[in-house]
Amino acid sequence: MADLLGMPRIRIILCTLLLTSLLPLRTRAEDPSVAIPPQIDQSPTWFQPSAGHETGLSNPAQTLFDAAGLEFFGLLDQGFTWNPDSPRDRLNGPLLYNDRANEYQLNLLYGSLSRAVDRESCDWDIGGTVDLAFGTAGRFLQAPGLELETDFTDRWNSEDRRFYKLAMPQLYAELLVPAGEGVVVRAGRFYSVLGFPLENAEQFLLSPYSFGVMESFAVPFTHTGMTAETSLGGGVDVLAGFTRGLDNWSDNNDDLSFLGRLRWTSPDNGT
C-alpha cells in the first residue's frame, strides 16, 4: 500500500498485552490426580485486577480494589515498520506513532488507575483517573508546564533519550452532583472530546497505529481545565467548560478557552 509520500511500505504491528488473565485450574475427569496446566486467554483484553472475582482469585489487593471501586489496566504496544526506501533519517513522515523506519519501537507501556463515578446514582460521588505512558508515543503525549518546560524542552525526561519519553496524559478528578439527570464535573488533564473520540484511554490505545493525518495533527490529544456534563434526555447530552488551550498544562498567555460539545446518541447506539 502506498503511503502519503508515495513510498510503498509493509507494516508489521506486534501488539502484546502487558498482562493476561489466567483461567482457573481444572482437573481431568478421567484422572483427578492430574491437573491441567493454567490456560492463558490470548484474546485482546485489558488487564483489570478489579475483575478478579470473575476468575476465582482472591487477595488483599483485590479486596481493596473492589471495596474502593478502583480499576487498573495496562498495555504494552510495540511494532516495527519496514520501509524499503530506507530513508537516511529513518523518518516515516507524515506517519506519527510508527514514525521510525526499519526500527523496532516500544510504542507504549501504559498503565491507568481510575475510579468511575456512578452516573446512575442519586447521591454525591467522587472519582478520578491517573495514567502514565512510556515509549516512543510518549513524545506526543507531553504538555508544556508538565512533562515539558514552557519552551518545550524536557522537564521530566533526559534530552539524551531522544525518542523514549515518560508522560502523564490524564490526571483528573470527577464529582457527581445529584442534580437533574446528574452532572459530572471534571477537573484536571483529560483526553480531548474534539474530533476523533479520545474520551477514555481504552479508545485511544486501541487505535494509535491507525491514526491518520487528521487525528494525528489536526485535533488535540488532551486538555487541562474543568468541564461539566449532563444528559438532557432522548439520547442528548451536553458538555461545557474551560481549558488552558490545546495539549497544554500551563498556557503562556494565561487565557482560558471555551470547550463545548452537544451530542446525540441514537437508540440503537449506531450514531
Under 8 Å between Cβ of 248 and 145: yes
Regarding predicted confidence, which is higher, 44 or 203? 203
231 half-sphere exposure, CB direction, 13 A CA radius: 10
Q: Please compute the mean of the pLDDT values over residues 22-47 and round it to a whole number.
A: 40
Percent of the chain predicted with pLDDT > 90? 28
Question: For cell 487565557, what's the residue?
Answer: 255
Does the pLDDT of residue 239 top 90, yes or no? Answer: yes
Confidence of residue 251 (pLDDT cuts 50, 70, 90): confident
Q: Please compute the mean of the pLDDT values over residues 161-173 and round it to a whole number.
A: 93
Q: What is the pLDDT of residues 129-143, one digit of tens each?
A: 999 999 988 888 899
Mean pLDDT, rounded, of the chain: 76
Q: How far apart are the first and last CA of the chain?
A: 30
Regarding predicted confidence, which is higher, 78 or 43? 78
Q: What is the pLDDT of residues 1-17, one digit of tens each?
A: 434 343 433 333 333 33
Under 8 Å between Cβ of 181 and 70: no
